[in-house]
Amino acid sequence: MSFTDTPEGFRSGFLSFVGRPNTGKSTLTNALVGEKIAITADQPETTRHPIRGVVHREDCQVILVDTPGLHRPRTLLGERLNAQVQETYADVDVIALTIPADEKIGPGDRWIVETLRRAVPRTPVVGVVTKVDKVSRDQIAAQLMDVHELLGAGSEIVPVSARSGEQLDVLMDVVKGLLPEGPKLYPDGHVTDDDRDTRIAELIREAALGGLRDELPHSIAVAVDEVLPNEEREGVLDVHAVIYIERPGQRRIITGPHGRRMGRIISTARASIIELLGQNIYLDLRFKVLKNWQSDPKALGRLGF
């Protein structure tokens, strides 16, 4: 079947994952697409822009939109991330509310449901209980009942594990039934709308986030300066990127004692970028202080927020 051919009954459309920070949206997106397109980390608020990934099936094509976690913002960056999410879910066919199996439903989840009902009352919302591999069957059953109560009678609730693949096909079947009939929106093999440099920058940021705690992860941003062929080594690309921080002292935390942590960051990021590009690279990282960039409108604009 070509890009323009549409078999009878074929469905296509947009599905947005919405939920509190760190509820498994990015891991679920990667598992469904079958390729890493969204970075993951232990810290909340890792995702900073809507990421489109495409799930190709014989009977449907689902464009996944992984969004930043909705939260009560503490900075201008937080406000802009929330605005991005709200713009995104206003234009999708189905919304999937992600709630982990190992966390009680709280005020944040209720706030998100209320926000959705006000903003997009006609858009179907599917409850997705994530991380079911981490809890017992009894805990899963209890969480399913709680999510059903949260979303109301008639709502579809699907328990899934992105790590084991459990129930992912069921989730796609449920979503397919809610999509309109229509042609393919993307050609076969297309996995994401993110451009090369954005994906490289995100892989570097993912490596930099590894092992960090407290507030520092939110102070890190990454931008790619340039990607050029190495003049001396054929088949090697030179990747030059900047890690932005808010205060000079944060550099010492990121680099670690004697620069050992920085070495791990470069090694981890380089391996991920080589896998993405399919060729050898030399990775050059430097730091730049952009004071309080999370609350500075000019700095946020410069970094693409």
Q: Detail the residues annotated as belonging to a binding site for GTP.
A: 19-26, 66-70, 130-133
Query: In angstroms, rounded to a whole number, what is the distance separating the alpha carbons of residues 193 and 253?
Result: 33
Q: Which of 257, 266, 161, 263 is nearest to 206 (CA)?
A: 266
Main-chain phi, psi angles of 132, to 5 degrees: -70, -15
Query: In angstroms, rounded to a whole number, what is the distance separating the alpha carbons of residues 223 and 243?
Result: 7
Within a 13 Å sphere around the CA of 42, how many CA atoms are in the beta-carbon half? 9
The answer to whether 242 and 197 have CB atoms below 8 angstroms apart is no
Binding-site positions read 19-26, 66-70, 130-133
- Between the two ends of the chain, the Cα-to-Cα distance in Å is 39
Instruction: Compute the radius of gyration of the chain from its Cα atoms.
Output: 20
Residues 6+ apart with CB under 8 A from 233: 280, 282
Query: In angstroms, rounded to a whole number, what is the distance separating the alpha carbons of residues 137 and 68?
Result: 29
The answer to whether 78 and 44 have CB atoms below 8 angstroms apart is no
DSSP codes, 144-187: HHHHHHHH-TT--EEE--TTT-TTHHHHHHHHHHHSPB---SS-
